[in-house]
Structure 1
């Protein structure tokens, strides 16, 4: 590719690239392109590739435009070089036929099989390079040898030639690419095609005024445009200029890449360190809550206060001799203790005193009233009522209790009520003096009526 690039920049098209014209120098490990016998200057390439109705070049490496007898340019050599590369990879040229004519026809009409079909070691990237280099229309190929060489280097790294956008699909291979009109006469160079190189080692065409006698006289008779490489070393035929990067550019590119890689590694290392610290730092301290005071509050009020403080109260009912039943005694832990949110706190609720004193005001009450007083005091009246005679207590009134009023008993104890029948037992009065009998009856709340009767057994006044 470097040899073709140099030749094309000098304005020379080889026109016969094939294995026989490429030599490998083993001692210097270089490749040489030889036999410029049918080469033409690009300025003179308006002369077609047919000479006396015969095709010039080797059929298996002809470009489609050579096979059609059209004008050639640098891209024709690149097509032939692609055929040579194809054969190096597969061991056979892209097209094989019984005759040169059939092979030339395939160059114009047929699409070659991918090289990987014959050699599985050929990568898809290299297949894409060959596909572009073997396009039928030269406008769809690589436009210069430098572009071809860069594509091969990219394919070595697995980078394929990008597909053309939808609006830039390959043109019909049978459509002739229009070329600028040229008026150069090539009659004088129809035999060798290289006579213009005489006395022009720099690759310039001699002007008609400098032409010598002989075949050059025909060229002087008809002045023609002359190819002159520009100072900027532009490619002929208006092809896009592509050059390799200079060592300085490559060095700067490597420097920028190294800087970017180092910067990326530093960012990743910093991010990893930050993430490690975030994952391993101790959790933030939890804000603790002070247990509120609930003493003397009702059960519902104490529960609401603890819930609002984001604590989880657990009820515990215990007896208490002072605090009324249903009122809060306190909490465990005590009020003022710092706790974490949703911690469990025991709420002690008074279940009343553990022992109770039998009320003193039970005697003198009716049985029903006495039972109500016992229930309010946390005691239970016995199911059965004890009836007793009483001379001083009316019938149906409580005389006393068992245990007696004023005694202390356990909460829930049973208390027996003693209720008056309203009657008394008649005492034995016989043989008693009248005064004593009257006194005994009076003590029982009874009145005495005296009636005297005769009795031989009892003394008088008794």
Structure 2
């Protein structure tokens, strides 16, 4: 059953189109959503995920290559393992490795499209491969599968070795040695010891590199044929010289290739640096090592010619008794000439070797230190000292953009003039975005910020309605805004409290509006009060800091109860003979509205007089009532 490839690995890597496929793994174009960069993702093929052997090999590779950090090796950023559920519910492991995405072409694609390369370019590329192998061998790792399909050339010309053990590129259709006993590798490039099933070491990689160099210059490998035939040829057949197939290849390169392809690894190049130094000598027009020339001539027939010796004719006894034979003097002269000739020959040989030695002495130059300098300054200083310069950019938040982070070979070491100095240059912080943190708890927001490659700055606490304790209110820069790796993000978080104002004297509607702004629940009760009806008497809790979500009880005024009042009005009594007078007391007098009997006054006059007196007394009595009150009048 085929297991589908996940669309997202490790919660951050988007899986894109397939760009390479091999016998054990597939490589997809990918995208790192956290750092915003293109990556290559190697995934174990779905038909091998249940094979414990393949799983263990893939996991070992992930652990091994993660420790390699070199300009000529494809960088490994991350590795991990996801799990998919099959239809039956079983979990299937999906191991993956996230690598540097190199925009360029494999050497296999370049050879297929363009044919053989110029010797100078083939030499430059192979030097970079050997730089990578020197580093990996120092780290204790043997590649075991060096071939054109496993070497990338980027658009800027830099060389990257990839695939330390599993994936094979789609374009590489060459026959491949499968795993039989301990035999691993690709048939056209396999070393004799690999072909024989013997343990491999770093020198096996150098043999494969020699085969690769041969192909770069000629368009074909040293040996061709079926896998079984290829194995036999690698073990037993002397390799041809590259110049047999490309007349432009100089003899010095023939010698270097011959030394790399020696059958006995004890006589082969012992270190990648030795191989690289000979190639550099060819490129700079200097003599290569004597061992390389010896390897070139090792298969040619050698004839040792002894010097001819004159044998005199047989002598008669009388001649033998002659003390001064006639040929004695010429023989002495011949001996002297031979001695002189031998001396001259010896001097000539010594002179030749002395000159060869002097010509082959390396012109050593101390490498200047350019770390922390700008790339322009570093390049100028290194070229002035006689070195070539290559540069590779990588993200860095510690080193400013366009400043040198690292140099290889290191400063202060002595190197041959013309050596290539590789510079690692800061490209500045990687691009990222401020994650969405508003409304999250502080610890959750902090984790997201750090995962995005950003740094948490100051945290300010404020009162904010509707936000409980430690909830993020806002971020600066705002969430979703562009940022660079290492940028500082400051947060404003909630205290979980708000300030309750004094609402006394406000109307019910005004109080509700204020509490609504604070997002506080409201409970209303009424209490009798002389204050205007509906105004706030007090709140519970009282004004001050309260927790978010606290219910506020609002006490509103309602009218006091009304007391009933009885008003009594009396009319004072008037006599005909005398007007009513005020007694000075609060007791009322009765008033009669009819004139007294036997009155001598005429009716109209009496009515007028009585009416006037009654009106005055009535007003006086009314005034007393209003001042004294009903209780006094009823006493």
TM over 0.5: no
The structure with the greater share of residues assigned to strand is: 2
Bin of the TM-score, shorter chain as denominator length:
0.3 to 0.5
- Which structure: larger Rg? 1
